[in-house]
Amino acid sequence: MTVYMLGAGPGDPDLITLKAIKILEKADVVLYDSLANDTLLEYAPTTARLIYVGKRAGEHYRKQPEINQLLIDEGKKCETVVRLKGGDPFIFGRGGEEELALLREGINVEVIPGINSALGSSAMIGLPLTHRAISTSLTLVTGHEDPEKSEKQVNWDYTADTLVIFMGVGLLKKYVPKILEYRDADTPVCVIENGTLPNQKVITGTLGDITEKEIKPPALVIIGEVVNIYLEAEKLRSKLE
């Protein structure tokens, strides 16, 4: 008996790995997130049970301890359990928590990585998160820390050339003033809503004006000079049309 943690990729169902599809095809039960594209469930056998355990900002269908227990219960009675998670299981996906919960119960866990939204969404629009001339370091940070922590770890004093914020749109007006303590107001910003999907939307600006723009989750926030690479590339692409 094995629980497979599958990375579903950044949104576009074509960006899931072949290995993940092969495992989905033999699943007895699939526990899936809101950010995992629903069309991927079509790869599961018609006999597989599908259990929704998604989370959205301000709306949790099941709390994390409940999900952990569900995985344990299913892992003890089913041969192949799939935990289908948006992006990559271990990049702000709580995969580490679920892995330990299962292993502590003596249940085997195998992790199949996925393309996370930072890498997938930025690459699909032609925005390089690193660039040898202007960005040799990259920091990924969550916009939502565990509310039960006694002390916050995110202080926004990161020195990396490029900063990528996951799940931070709802609190962007709170975070930007703190980021401005360490970065200039004219620092370029790119926000990608629904990255890699047909309804994808790209919004650009600066730290000084990005909070004035209409932005809706789910979205990824990219801060740094690499945004200018994207803007230049877009101008060059328009000339090719």
The secondary structure of the chain in percent helix, strand, coil, rounded to multiples of 5, reads 30, 25, 45
Please report, to the nearest 10 degrees, the dihedral formed by the alpha carbons of residues 70, 75, 76, 79 taken in order: 140
pLDDT value at 153 more than 90: no
Catalytic choice (12, 88, 161, 167) = 167
| Tokens describing residue 239 | 């000339």
For the question of residue 167 being annotated catalytic, the response is yes
241 vs 225: CA distance, rounded Å: 26
Q: Is the pLDDT of residue 60 over 60?
A: no
Q: Which of 12, 33, 88, 161 is catalytic?
A: 33
For the full predicted model, state whether its pTM sits above 0.85.
Answer: yes
What Rg, from alpha-carbon coordinates, does the chain have? 19
pLDDT digits (tens, 9 = 90+) for 190-234: 999 999 999 999 999 999 999 999 999 999 999 999 999 999 999
Residue found by looking up tokens 């006999």 in the block: 47
| Residue 21 predicted with pLDDT over 90 | yes
pLDDT band at 41 (very low <50, low <70, confident <90, very high): very high
Q: Which of 137, 119, 123, 115 is nearest to 224 (CA)?
A: 137
CA distance 80 to 136: 41
Q: Which of 237, 227, 219 is nearest to 121 (CA)?
A: 219
Which position has the token pair 């709306």? 59
Is the pLDDT assigned to residue 143 strictly greater than 90? no
| DSSP letter (8 states) at residue 188 | E
Residue 52 phi, psi dihedral angles, 5° rounding: -85, 125
Q: Across residues 81-88, what is the average pLDDT?
A: 97
| Longest pairwise C-alpha distance within the chain | 59
pLDDT for the residue 33 = 93
Mean pLDDT of 38-56: 93
Determine the Cα–Cα distance for residues 12 and 175; give it in Å rounded to an integer: 29
Q: Give dist(CA 82, CA 31) in Å, integer.
A: 6
Position 144 confidence tier, pLDDT thresholds 50, 70, 90: confident
Half-sphere exposure of 200 (CA within 13 A, CB side): 18
Among residues 5, 12, 55, 85, the one annotated as catalytic is 55
Residue 99 has pLDDT above 70, yes or no: yes
Per-residue pLDDT for 49 more than 70? yes
The three-state secondary structure class of 21 is: helix
